[in-house]
A and B are shown apart, each in its own frame.
Chain A
Amino acid sequence: AQSVSQHNHHVILSEAASLELGCNYSYGGTVNLFWYVQYPGQHLQLLLKYFSGDPLVKGIKGFEAEFIKSKFSFNLRKPSVQWSDTAEYFCAVREGSGGGADGLTFGKGTHLIIQP
């Protein structure tokens, strides 16, 4: 079975600091990778996803993530965070073999707090 590890459960940064949230997965085959964000009081929203092509993908609100196949990683980055980035961030994986009847496998999430 797949598993997803997010190493940082709580991160506190000051505004304008750079952000990197780690995500590693266990599945050895073709994967589709996602980062979701949940702002306070809101539902889960897609930040970005990777399924093929350029391993550096750009998402909304200045976020990007890099897929490194050899490291089974899909880390999320942002060069300069804002107070409005305070949220819970979830990494998720889905097998890319087609059918996809197994849904998404999520990490436990990282709670990011940005201090003004």
Chain B
Amino acid sequence: ETGVTQTPRHLVMGMTNKKSLKCEQHLGHNAMYWYKQSAKKPLELMFVYSLEERVENNSVPSRFSPECPNSSHLFLHLHTLQPEDSALYLCASSQSTRGTDTQYFGPGTRLTVL
């Protein structure tokens, strides 16, 4: 299934680097999400966008900066990350932000911070 794609699939970066994660959805959805999946912890919601406007910032450090230029694309800009930020970053989309809407997930970007 290629409804939600993410690039790159793997990323290794130093703490002083700046990089960006990209997500694209081909489902015509109006809501997009970033989640973080760390080892031995549940998936954690980071950001929610609805119609390109951020509606939720779940107390995420400012070294993570999201951008949603249109309803099909979502970016996560990374700068001065810490080793504990190493995780799988998942993007998801849904038709809207209604509680009943199914979220469709991308394959994730495996990030390693050295």
Binding site for B on A (CB under 8 A): 4, 30-32, 34, 36, 42-46, 49, 51, 90, 92, 94-109
Contacts and interface: CB of A to CB of B under 8 A. Distances in A.
B33 to A, nearest CB: 6
The interface residues of chain A, by DSSP majority, are classed as: loop
B97 interface: yes
A105 B56 CA distance: 14
A102 B45 CA distance: 8
B106 A51 contact: no
B42 A32 contact: no
Contact of A103 (B41, B56, B100, B106): B56
Contacts of B97: 99-101
Contacts of A34: 102
Nearest to B104: A46
A98 B98 contact: yes
